[in-house]
Each structure stands twice: as C-alpha cells, then as structure tokens.
A and B are shown apart, each in its own frame.
Chain A
Amino acid sequence: MTTTKREKSLIVIQLSGGNDYLNTVIPYSEGKYYDYRPTVNIPQNKVIPIDDHYGFNPSMGPVKSLWDEGKVAIINGIGYQNPNRSHFRSMDIWHTAEPDSIGKEGWLGRAIRDIDPQGENVLTGINFGRGLPRAMACPGVSVASVGDLDTYGLFPDVKDEELRMFTLEAFSKMYGGAAGRDPVMELLGQTGQDALQGADILRTAPAMYSSSVEYAPDSLAQNVKSISQVFHANVGARVLYTQHGPFDTHAGELISHAKLWDEVAGAVGCLMDDLKEHGTENDASILIFSEFGRRIQDNGSGSDHGSGGVAFMIGGAVNGGTYGEYPSLAEAEQIEGDLRSNNDFRSVYTGILEDWLGLDAAPIVNGQFEKFDLFKS
C-alpha cells in the first residue's frame, strides 16, 4: 500500500496468571534454587544455558535462537514496591501504571490518544481477543477488539452470507442517517460507522497477507498470526495486544508451564520469522510481561503467587542482553518468601514510549523513571 518509511509498532503479549520467573529464566548454577524448589524445578541438564549462571526453560528454544541473534532483552526482577499478590489488582497496576492508588486510564490507552489525538484512525490500537484490557482503556479512545479476525464485525452468527450483507447494509443506512441535534444519537451514528469501517478494513487484512510461516493451531499463535496480518496490512495499527494463559500454576506446574511456554516461544518465533520474511523486522517490537512472579519455595506441585518477575523485549531493533540484576534468593533479601523486584516496570514503559513510539512518557506513566537503552538507535 504505502512505500514510505513505516511507523514503529508495539506488540504486547500479556502472560496472564503470574508467570513463574524462576522457571523461565533459571538460576541453574545456584544451589538455593534447587533447595527451594525440591519438586518444581528444571534440572540443570535440561536448562538451555545463556551463560554460566542462567538459562531458559527448555520450552523456550525459539527464544534462545533469537537471543543468539541479539534480539532478546531480558529485564530481570521487574515489579513495583509493596507488591500485591492479587491477580486483578496487580494486573490493574501494570495496566494503569499506578501502583499506589487506583488508576483510571490505561497506559496504552493514553499512548494511543497521544499518537492519534483526533481519533482519526479507528485501528491505531487493536486488541486480539474479546473485551478490552484495561491497559488500552481510556475515555474517548476507540480501540477495536477482535475475537476472531475471519469473522470480526457485526452479526457474526448470521451464517447466510447474503442475509448478512443485506443486514450490514441496513445497519450502515441506519447509522449513517442524520441524527438531528441529539449528540448521543450523533455519537452512536459515528461509532457505528467506525465499527463498520474498522471491520471492513480488518476483514481485508487476511486476503492481503501471504507468508510461508505456519503458525500453530493454539489460540495464542492464531492471535499472533492475526496480529501479523493486520500489521502487514499497513492500516496504521501502532499498538497490537493479546494475552495468553493461564499461568496461574498452583498445581502441576512443570507440565502446564512447559506447554504454555512452548506456545509463547513458538508464536514469537513464528512472528519474528514472518517479520523477517516481510522485511519489517525493525518496525515492530514485542513486549512480554506478566502481573507477578511466583513464590520462591514450591508447594510440592506448583508455586503460589509471588512478586518480582521477568519481562522480555524482542525485536530486530532491540538491543539484546540482560537488563538489571537477577534478584537474590538469599533469605535476607526476600520479601515474605518472594523475590524482591529491583526494576520498576514503569522504567520499561518509559523506554518503550520514548525510544520506540516517540512519545513523552512522564504523563503516561505518572512520573519520571530512568530507562534502559532497550532499542538500537
């Protein structure tokens, strides 16, 4: 469509439920790890080492390949002061960048508003999956939420295509008519038109896309494939969001956590291949985060809610490497049996907003935070 230099986009993969940091980036050289994790551990010989001390979960092969290419930033010990172990509250904190009081606006909602203040493009921000994550919610900001790209839009349950087209046409007429002076009817009309327009553009995306990459059939890989299709349709999507889970591995962790990371690493590997194939590797970066890490001591079958986690930034334009210290497992350093975070998540947001999306971060993340040099300049 367009040949001009494209704008940078952010892709977010949220790991819902609390990803177990200790079994994701594993401190395999440390005896304490195996002391605290007598059952729920990754044996040394299974770890994929990245150096003499740390290594990836064995399910993260594709991430290791990207690591070797220098495209993976590991952000250690990420979190916030006074950790909250409630899924909902902690996720809200990450979404609103507001740990101390209850925030009203999502950080990405604010970013979308700054990117497109007049709301000219209904597809600046898109969530893949139903409902809107609070991260993208912000009054006055329209964000499309795509459950299934192939059936996205109005009346997906009408199977008779002719009837559906006829109904959409009627809908368009009903929402296109003059609304008189009533501002609410006016708003409804405009919003209905936006929804139709967004759906029309999005529905064309799969047809415009071709790729030799084959995504797995799991829901995350399919959502990531949709992300790639929409991203490559050049519709001006700048923030593309999806989530995967449940990472809430209280029981049977070794099996479920491995499966989940198989899916995440597989989807990310495919997406990076896809970007490479399209020559867009340097135009999108992927943030992977979770609302908290898990308890240091295992519970015999899984691990309970903890604090201090890990985030990843992945992309062709990312400065690969590790950022921040891996929190100590020493008892004196723990907070109530959990890892003590030493990197505020808002410093990562600040880096993304300023150095990747080119926005003023402070008003979005509610303050000044030192940032890492996560992106190649």
Chain B
Amino acid sequence: MISNDTALMAHLLRRAGFGANRDELESYLEIGYDGAVEALLNPSDPGNMPDDLIRRYHVEQSELRDLPGSSAYWMYRMISTSCPMEEKTALFWHGLFATGYSKLNQARSQLNQVEMFRRSGLGSFEDLLVELSKDPAMIVWLDNNENHGASINENYGRELLELFSMGIGNYSEDDIKGCARAFTGWTLGNAEYMSVRAAKDSIWPYGRIAWHFDYREEDHDDGEKTFLGETGRFNGEDIIAIIVKQEATARFVATRLFQFFAADEITEAGEKTIEAMMATYFSSGYQIRDMLRTLFHSEYFKSEEARFARVKGPVEMVVGAIRMAGNYQDPYLGIEKVADTMFFMGQGLLRPPTVEGWHEGAEWIDSGALVERVNFVAKELSNVSSPGVRSIIERLEAGADQGVLQPSELADGCLDLLGPIQVSEETRSVLVEYASRHGDLDLNDHQPGDQAEQRVGDILRLVAATREYQLA
C-alpha cells in the first residue's frame, strides 16, 4: 500500500516541481515534509552543465538571440535541475509577467528576464516589481521606451496595475497616468536604435546587441503626481512602494500563486488559504517565499481536496515526462524539438500569446492539444531503453513475489511508480484488464527491450494516456 507520506510528498513535488521519480521522492522523504518544503524554497546549486560549457559544446543552444536555441536552453535547465522550485517559480512569473518574443526579436533579453525570475522570484514582491520595471525586455514589450516626460505612453503603467499587481477595479484612469508619469525616463540603452531594430527584426549589420536598463533623468517627469490618494514627486520606486501596500495587491498575488501552485478552482477552504497567504504577505514584508511556505503547510494544501486539482500545463507535462523517463540530462541536440512539442500543445516557451499570458486550467484542453499531450507522454514513458523507465522495471521486479507480477500488481505498480497517481475505479479496472492480456508478467531474467519489459512499457503508455495523468 502506498503510504500517505509518499503520496503527499509526490503532491508537493508536482506543485513545487515537475513531479518526481521514485529515487527523488525517497531522498525527499528522508528529510521529511517540512525539510522538503525548506529545501525546495531555498534553491542551491541546480547542478546543470555550466553556461560556458554549453556555449562551447552545444552550439544549438548558444544562439541565444533567437527562439529555438533559447527555449531549448530553458528546457534543458528545467529538465536537469536539482532545484525544481527555482524553475517552476520562473515559469510562474513568466506566465504572469508574460513577455513575448514576437515583438522583441531578442530572446537573449528574455533569458535575462528569466534569470532575474530565478534570482528574485522567491524574494520580496516589491523588489521584484522594481526589477521588472527595469527589465529591458519588459520595457520594449510594453513600450516604456516610448514613455517620455513630455508625452506619456500608458502601456506599462496600465498593465503594471491591471495585470501585474492589483487587478482591474482598484485604481482610476488618473492613477494610471500618475503611474505612467513616474516611470518616464525608465528605458534601455540606445533605446531609439534598439526599438527600430526590434521592429524591423533585422540582424544586419551588426547582429543583435545586448540590452541594458538606462535611466534618463532628462526624460523623467519629476513633477508632482497623485497616485492612489497619495501625492508627491514620485519616481517609479515610490509608485511600487505604494502598490505593494495595497490589500488588492496582496489578494492578487496570493490568488495567482494559489492557482498556479495549489488548484485551478478556489473553493471555500481554498479561499481561507488565500487569506492566510495574504496575512503572510504583509507580516513578512511581501516575501513570496514566506507566502508559499504558508501555502505548502496549510491544511488545505495537504488535504485530498487539493490533490490533482490542477490541469498540467504543457511545460509541466513535457518536462515532467522527460524527467520521469530520465532523458536529456545533458543539453543534447533534439531538445529544441521537444520545445516545439510544447508549442503544439499550446504553450510556446518565451512566446506567450499576449501580455495576459496563457489561459490555464481547463483551457489547456482541446482535442488537438490532448492528442499531442497523450502522444508525447505515451511515447516518452513507453520507451524501455530510457533510464527512468529501466529503473521502474527494476523496482517492479524487486517488489514482485519471485519476479512474477499478477495483472493487478502490474497496473498498481505502474500507477505507484509514476506518481503515485490516484485513478478512478473505472480507470483502474481498464488498466488491469489491459494488463491481463498476456496473463501474469514474469520479469525473471528480463533483458533490455525484451517482450517482458515491453509489456511494462505498454502499461506505462496507457497510464500516461489516462485522464488522471492530465492532472497535477
């Protein structure tokens, strides 16, 4: 029988990571749930191949200015990391502060933004918003390079309030103007030239040039502004200091974290958890890490209600399956095709469709996307030459009575080792019936790729195709 500790730890790792194979799960179980929460929330060395070696040996991931190499590079980081929460957090902010390649034509600036999310994504929300406002990719994405002291461009000021902090209905049009004025002069080096280059999508004559933040005092509107009832000669940092004090901001951040790390739908018990996260937001000085600690320790999060309460996003789906299968531990050629696969499922890394990010939850599911999801994961997990699948076979053999598994043991064993995954009685009975096709499975003397092993692969394929596998 699967212990509740194991099931709970697997749940935590699906949320604070991309799911876990049994070896990982066991090492987290050794330090216990509380220890695991702390380990996940305090990332150390992710253990990936250092960037300088990737640049030297993996050319295809080194053309960081364009989309395929850059998304492949991030994929590799997600697949290989031993600090999955760091990448999961970066993915969360990438979806919330959605910045897209389409307008920038400069993926390096986006990878820099992602690196900023790794660095600051679990710290203070105030600091994060300041960094975001200085991020060159964001500046070009939302036209703050066109926001001048003499003539404001409201795009960034508006979205900062609407999509990045408080949400609509909590400020006036005048507040937006005050906000935009405060961010005048926040631009990037050589802004005029860079924006022409981005719009023309041209690499001639000098290739693409790295972007950096530039504050132009002479273009900043230093006059008095009124913002959310406060008046002063505010600059951007002052505006952010006012934003983060708002109750609406606390609710917005807590809700978005909850929906990404706990459940798509907010129930009554979920609402109480969000309120607890809001209290932590204020008591900790806006610390994201502390809010997530509150979430992961909440009764709600640990309850049955929160299990499998999210539809896996395509990135979670793909990265999770690859990590489970143990593939792409080095930045091999071919990983860019995997990045394409996620795009086919509806989530192109570094190319969110709009500044609103992706529509998540049930909206991930349509027939075209479902076919892609099932086919990718089924293929990945049924390949018995993959190291992760080999390890599942070894564990099944070790747990079998004299090396022989009855059909129900085979089905239950696969559900356990891929999760544990809870499935309905109906799903389970189909799996058992399927496993019965050739009677008991004798794993004695199995050889790589033989028929006995392939039978395990066949069951794993079908588990990967269940409705339940679509959920995290």
What are 28 A-B contacts defined by CB distance under 8 Å? A85-B200, A85-B201, A87-B201, A88-B105, A89-B103, A92-B102, A102-B355, A104-B353, A104-B354, A134-B353, A137-B353, A139-B363, A141-B366, A144-B368, A145-B372, A157-B375, A167-B465, A170-B430, A170-B431, A174-B427, A178-B426, A183-B362, A188-B365, A189-B467, A192-B370, A192-B467, A195-B371, A304-B204
Interface residues of A (CB under 8 A from B): 84-89, 92, 102-104, 122, 127, 130-132, 134, 137, 139, 141-145, 153-158, 163, 166-167, 170-171, 173-175, 177-180, 183-185, 187-189, 191-192, 194-195, 198-199, 299, 304-305
Chain B residue at minimum C-beta to C-beta distance from A248: B201
Chain A to chain B: the 5 pairs with minimum beta-carbon distance, closest first: A88-B102, A131-B344, A145-B368, A177-B426, A86-B201
Beyond A86-B201, A167-B462, A191-B370, whether A185 also contacts B375 by CB under 8 A is: no
Beyond A155-B461, A157-B379, whether A194 also contacts B367 by CB under 8 A is: yes
Chain A residue at minimum C-beta to C-beta distance from B348: A131
Chain B residue at minimum C-beta to C-beta distance from A84: B199
Question: Inside 8 A of A142's CB, which chain B residues have their CB?
Answer: 366-368
Question: In the complex the two chains form, what is the Cα distance from A130 to B368 in whole Å?
Answer: 9
B6 at the interface (CB under 8 A from A): no
Question: In the complex the two chains form, what is the Cα distance from A130 to B471 in whole Å?
Answer: 23
Question: In the complex the two chains form, what is the Cα distance from A96 to B236 in whole Å?
Answer: 34
Question: In the complex the two chains form, what is the Cα distance from A163 to B437 in whole Å?
Answer: 10
Question: In the complex the two chains form, what is the Cα distance from A251 to B432 in whole Å?
Answer: 58
Contact assessment for A195 and B353 in the assembled complex, using a CB-CB cutoff below 8 Å: no
Question: In the complex the two chains form, what is the Cα distance from A102 to B141 in whole Å?
Answer: 11
Contact mask for chain B residues 427-448; partner A; CB cutoff 8 A; 1 contact, 0 none: 1001101100100000000000
B351 at the interface (CB under 8 A from A): yes
B271 at the interface (CB under 8 A from A): no
- Kindly name the residue among A178, A179, A192 whose own CB sees the greatest number of chain B CB atoms within 10 A: A192
Interface size class of B (residues with CB under 8 A): 35 or more
Within the complex, which residue of A92, A175, A187 is in contact with B362, where a contact is CB–CB below 8 Å?
Answer: A187
Question: Inside 8 A of B204's CB, which chain A residues have their CB?
Answer: 299, 304
Interface residues of B (CB under 8 A from A): 100-103, 105, 198-202, 204, 264, 311, 340, 343-344, 346, 351, 353-356, 359, 361-363, 365-372, 374-375, 378-379, 424, 426-427, 430-431, 433-434, 437, 458, 461-462, 465-467, 470-471
Chain B residue at minimum C-beta to C-beta distance from A141: B366
Contact count A vs B, C-beta below 8 Å = 142
Contact assessment for A195 and B102 in the assembled complex, using a CB-CB cutoff below 8 Å: no
- Kindly name the residue among B198, B200, B471 whose own CB sees the greatest number of chain A CB atoms within 10 A: B200
Question: In the complex the two chains form, what is the Cα distance from A11 to B199 in whole Å?
Answer: 31
Contact assessment for A170 and B462 in the assembled complex, using a CB-CB cutoff below 8 Å: yes
Contact assessment for B467 and A175 in the assembled complex, using a CB-CB cutoff below 8 Å: yes
Chain A residue at minimum C-beta to C-beta distance from B351: A88
Question: In the complex the two chains form, what is the Cα distance from A157 to B343 in whole Å?
Answer: 20
**Could you tell me the distance in whole angstroms from the C-beta of A252 to the nearest C-beta in chain B?**
16
Chain A residue at minimum C-beta to C-beta distance from B466: A174
**Could you tell me the distance in whole angstroms from the C-beta of B36 to the nearest C-beta in chain A?**
27
Within the complex, which residue of A137, A156, A171 is in contact with B465, where a contact is CB–CB below 8 Å?
Answer: A171
Chain A residue at minimum C-beta to C-beta distance from B264: A184
Question: Inside 8 A of A131's CB, which chain B residues have their CB?
Answer: 340, 343-344, 372
Chain B residue at minimum C-beta to C-beta distance from A194: B367
Question: Inside 8 A of B354's CB, which chain A residues have their CB?
Answer: 102-104
Contact assessment for B434 and A191 in the assembled complex, using a CB-CB cutoff below 8 Å: no
Question: Inside 8 A of A167's CB, which chain B residues have their CB?
Answer: 434, 458, 461-462, 465
